[in-house]
Amino acid sequence: MTKPIISVIANFYKSERYISKLINSVLNQTFTDWELICINDCSPGKDLEILRKFQKHPKANNRIKIINNITNKGIAKSKKIGIENAIGTYITFIDGDDWLENRALEMLYEPAKKYNLDLVIMNNYRIIPYINYKWKISSNISADKYNVPIYSPELFEDYFINFFGCNIFATNSYWGKLYKLSSIKESNIKYPMNDTYEDNIFNFRLFPHIKSMMFIDYCGYYWRWGGITSGKKNNIYSESRFIKVIEDFYFERKLAIEKYNYTKAHKYLLFELKNVLKSMLSNIACYELSDKRSVPILTEIKKIISRMAYHDMKILYELHPNSKNDEFIKAIVNQDAKHVYYISHEIYKKERKKRLIKILIHKLIYPLARI
């Protein structure tokens, strides 16, 4: 096989129901100069068997490479393995239960080639395949910013803010993007090793090394709502896991503000810290305070708000007037763990219906779906 222009990296774990849809979407691309790197992450199902069958597909033409992890390494490490084994000029990613529109690689590559770009970002669809319902997720930019190359220093000055809670990109995930492989390797960034927000962390670390980029007004990625990745449970519970998430989501960004003198991001980062804390705590505060099972969770919350969150939430409380009306921030500043737990539990109850719907889709609808 000659060196391909694009390496497509796909990781699989318990994905046997979705593999055909994903690989066929690559085989049927209008752009044909690609390799597909399939990482089977020690799946207990038939993933490896199906992948090997596709290697023999008439359209594969020796372009499908299988990497079989002997032990389960998780999403982050599997992505790293994919990057290390890629030989294309560019790389793009697909999650094991998603797929591409048939012009996706062509649409990503054309501007990358024309303007020698380090990064191209497209919009995407989130879809419930069984009922064929989809909705568009677009980058939060003005129409005149689409299909126009963006270079440093404007690129860094105007768009690094995306990683501090401003949400400019359609998604901070690996997928939906075309990366120049040399830009990743020359950056010498530290790859994420944990699976919590690993895609956001990867892009945050890489972005200061990106010198050219384009948003394209095109939806080429189908993200399966309620599928394997969206069906994962949030297992963040222990204090050590919380600390790791805060280190990656907050302290590392705080250091970046100092390193790059990116002071305009500080306010957004403080609000992002609040949102991350609220999101994590509302995922675990699943019992009433009167329930004995809440005791160990409340103990962790006490440690978290006293050791990690108090100082910076106090800054937010003092600097931004609207924060004084935020009960969650006030509870942290007052180090009132019980009230923090109560607020988090109320959010948990409100979100319960959404979680139940997602679980039902994941457990009932998707076993019936074949697309």
Taking Cα atoms as reference points, which of 180, 164, 174, 366 lies closest to residue 274? 164
Per-residue confidence (pLDDT) for residue 359, from 0 to 100: 66
Per-residue confidence (pLDDT) for residue 233, from 0 to 100: 43
Distances (CA, A) of 33 to 24, 90, 238: 15, 11, 46
Q: What's the pTM value of the predicted model, to 2 decimals?
A: 0.88
Per-residue confidence (pLDDT) for residue 277, from 0 to 100: 86
The whole-angstrom distance between residue 91's C-alpha and the CA centroid of its chain comes to 16
Per-residue confidence (pLDDT) for residue 366, from 0 to 100: 54
Per-residue confidence (pLDDT) for residue 364, from 0 to 100: 61
Taking Cα atoms as reference points, which of 42, 16, 37, 41 lies closest to residue 26? 37
**Tokens found for residue 150:** 């963006």
- The stretches in the chain having pLDDT less than 50 are 230-237, 371
Per-residue confidence (pLDDT) for residue 230, from 0 to 100: 42
